[in-house]
Amino acid sequence: MLQTPKGFKFAALEAGFKYNGRNDLALILSDTPAVAAAVFTKNKFQAAPVTVGKEILAESQIVRGAIINAGLANACTGVEGIEDCRESLILAAKYLGISDKDLLPSSTGVIGPRFNMDKWREVAPKLKGALGNSDAVEAAKAIMTTDKFPKLAWGEIGCDGKPVRMLGMCKGAGMISPNMATMLGFITCDAEVDPEWWQDALRRCIDKSFNCVTVDGDTSTNDTVMAFANGASKAKAESDENKANLEALLLDICQQLSYMIVQDAEGGTKVMHINVTGAASDEDAELMVRAVGNSPLVKTALFGEDPNWGRIVAAAGRSGAEFDPEKLTLSFGKIVVFEKGKPIEGDMDALLEPIMRKQDVQVNITLGDGKGSAMLQASDLTREYININADYRS
């Protein structure tokens, strides 16, 4: 059963920014001021809501929530796009009875077009009446673009002798190989937290979740993950134990959501779990998992259920990682197919057929006895991915 943290309300409305006949605007609002943490894209072309969101958080980490639109990214729209973003916050805040600095903006969709601000002026007066009449599932649906299903995860722990709830939602299916977060993600929590610790905890959890997935090797202009904690449970995450437990829950939520993104990859049918161990450093291991996970040849072989080890070792060899090829061992699941510089003899295809038919395929690479390691979840590359992205703007 869906568990919503205390003191948070949701709204989902149809604004008609790009889509017709569906909700494309979501609002997440805390009844009381909440501590906000956020991690944004490192893409040099940063969307207007990323720029404005950073400005708001630079002034204060205490806000009330986020407003998110789907269909138009408000990216590469110049100064005018930033002005549009700020005006949208002013309009929303006016009808919600809060400050425009209380809302963090977020957008997803087509890069380039500006908002039709008349649509914002039409929908803004409806926000207050809609607040609380939608649940988190409806809000998650409103922020979808090419997603096939809404992505939510939730959980509860004991903290300071009281129950604490956390709920996360995200959207994303394409343009995903993040170097910060992934697409859009929003997490609500009713614990009372220290702002600096909350920000650090979110970044640590993102590095172990959203930063460990890839669909197509692209990092968006809009990638954002935000986390809000309003203290409505009256539970304080002050002790080391309570902080550790709360961060463990945050990590679990982030990892569930990031897996769903790869599971829902545009046109995707499989998830490849790539694990590299024994590397000279974590950096070398990271180079290798991304080379393998982003290789079109590896990804198409995965789609075809072909255990083509040659494509994997070739990707590993060009990754830029320092390693001795004679020490590399490659396995699918528990079945070793390559070691000491050459393949294992025998009919490996027959042995691997049951593994390759599964939705989740484990690819394990050991490079030696180094302490470096990394993992990445990657989708396959299918004909449908091309169909979706060839027609995305139409």
Please list the active-site residues.
182
Distances (CA, A) of 142 to 9, 25, 139, 317: 15, 6, 5, 43
For the chain, how big is the Rg over CA atoms in Å?
Answer: 22
* Residue corresponding to tokens 């205390």: 6
Q: Do 273 and 362 contact (CB within 8 A), yes or no? A: yes
> How many whole angstroms separate alpha carbon 326 and alpha carbon 310?
15
Cα-to-chain-centroid distance, residue 306:
28
Q: What does 161-176 look like in DSSP terms, one character per residue?
A: TEEEEEEEEEE-SSSB
If 0-12 CB within 10 Å is exposed, 13-18 middle and 19+ buried, where does residue 137 land? middle
Q: Tell me how crowded residue 208 is: count the other CB atoms within 10 A of its CB.
A: 13
The answer to whether the CB of 199 falls within 8 A of the CB of 60 is no
Element (H, E) at 195: helix 195-207
Instruction: Supply the DSSP symbol for 13.
Output: E
Residue type, 197: W
- Within 10 A of 113 (CB to CB), how many other CB atoms are there? 18
What does 304-325 look like in DSSP terms, one character per residue? Answer: TT---HHHHHHHHHTS-----G
Identity (one letter) of the amino acid at 323?
Answer: F
Distance CA 48, CA 294 (A): 28
Tell me the one-letter amino acid at 213: V
Q: What sign does the CA torsion over 214, 217, 222, 223 have?
A: positive
Which structure tokens are listed for 181?
């977060």
